[in-house]
Amino acid sequence: MTGFKHTVASFVFVFVCACCLWLCVSVSHYILAKRCVCTGLTVVRVRFQMKNCNKEVATATRYAPVRVANVTLRGRPPLPTQLAVFDRPDVVSNRLSYGTHYFERAELSTFATLLKPETVVLDIGANIGWWTFSFATTHAVHAFEPNPSNLAIQAVSRCMNPHLARRITVYPVGLYNREPARCEIYSHPRNLGNTHTLCGTTEEIATKVKAHEPLELRGSVEMRMLDTLVPEQLFRADKIVKLDVEGSEQVALMGATRLLTDGLPPRALFMEITFFKDTKRRELYRFLERQGYLPVRMVRYNLLFAHVERMPVTHMRQQPHGASPNVCDDYCGFHHPPECNVTCGLSRLQNCCDWWTRQP
């Protein structure tokens, strides 16, 4: 009798296990089928949108293969949409295509806090358009980009998003401190959209290329001054500026001294300062100080400058007591001794502004 009970128990156990296995396989097949259907619908939708933009896609693929990234743009509520990206090595394209499908979240959030309903955004160094489209959800955007391959990618995205394209004005030029001028544009083979605009003599350009190797020549581009390029009404509009032009930020702003001082100057400048080291950074700070801008916040590799008359900065300033020397150096650009030492904490850094006082 005991043996019979064991046999029945074993049979029941095997039967239950078989049922569980069948259930797991069925659920897995259902999920897989659902994913396939969803993926299929996405592919159909992408193909439909791309088909409507054949001309733009054909132009973009002359430079590099193109694909579509499913992204969510900032806004209230956030806007799910699709943007064209490179189907080749490119930092922004890779971030938008995989992982979080987002790029520079902290930087975008900081910039967004400055917006008013009437604010116009200037995106200088628009790359493939991530910042441009992110703010075109709610505001007018003037996008400046010299790289033809980036411009072609942007054109595909505008074609796919006509509701956003209405708010975007594109300037296919580089920004410089004089005109007329023409400069060469380069990018890294593993980062196609990252444009370096190099100006000067053949020898000067060769030296700059060597400093950023490996760079590949992408062509030449017309250079313009911001003051003579933008429409007159922009001088009277409320505006904020984002700059990311691989070390050419100061040169671009030197061609915008009227925009920075006349009418309604930009309330804020948000720029990458990675390429500004030592003397070069000191020159940038002194130039901006003369235009009326002070630093208020560091966000990774970007520094936010506020116009002293148009945006109160006291409530935004960080309190980096005991901060690292590089952060203190950024503050020392404007907070001259001894004020800068107090800002950075005398107990940790007795002379955090030493480099500021040294002559170039």
Bond preceding residue 312 cis, omega within 30 of 0: no
Domain 54-317 adopts which CATH fold? Rossmann fold (3.40.50)
The residue-averaged pLDDT of 280-285 equals: 80
Strand partners, 224: 175
The residue-averaged pLDDT of 15-35 equals: 53
Q: How far apart are CA 235 and CA 229, in angstroms?
A: 11
pLDDT at 179: 95
Lowest model confidence (mean pLDDT) among 59-68, 142-151, 266-275, 337-346: 337-346
Question: What are 55-62's contacts with CB under 8 Å, separation 24+?
Answer: 56/152, 56/155, 56/156, 56/158, 56/159, 57/84, 57/156, 59/152, 59/155, 60/84, 60/149, 60/152, 60/153, 60/155, 60/156, 62/152
- Looking at every residue in the chain, the average pLDDT score rounds to 81
Q: How far apart are CA 6 and CA 110, in angstroms?
A: 69
pLDDT at 31: 44
pLDDT at 89: 94
Helix (H) or strand (E) holding 70: strand 66-73
The residue-averaged pLDDT of 113-125 equals: 97
- Domain layout of the chain by residue ranges: 54-317, 319-360
At 29-82, the pLDDT tens digits run 544 444 444 334 343 344 446 668 999 999 999 999 999 999 999 988 999 999
Does the reported pTM lie above 0.85? no
Q: DSSP letter at 173?
A: S
At 95, the amino acid letter reads R
Of the pLDDT bands very low, low, confident and very high (cuts 50, 70, 90), residue 355 is very low
Report residue 82 as tokens. Answer: 């699709």
Question: What are 94-98's contacts with CB under 8 Å, separation 24+?
Answer: 96/69, 96/71, 96/130, 97/67, 97/69
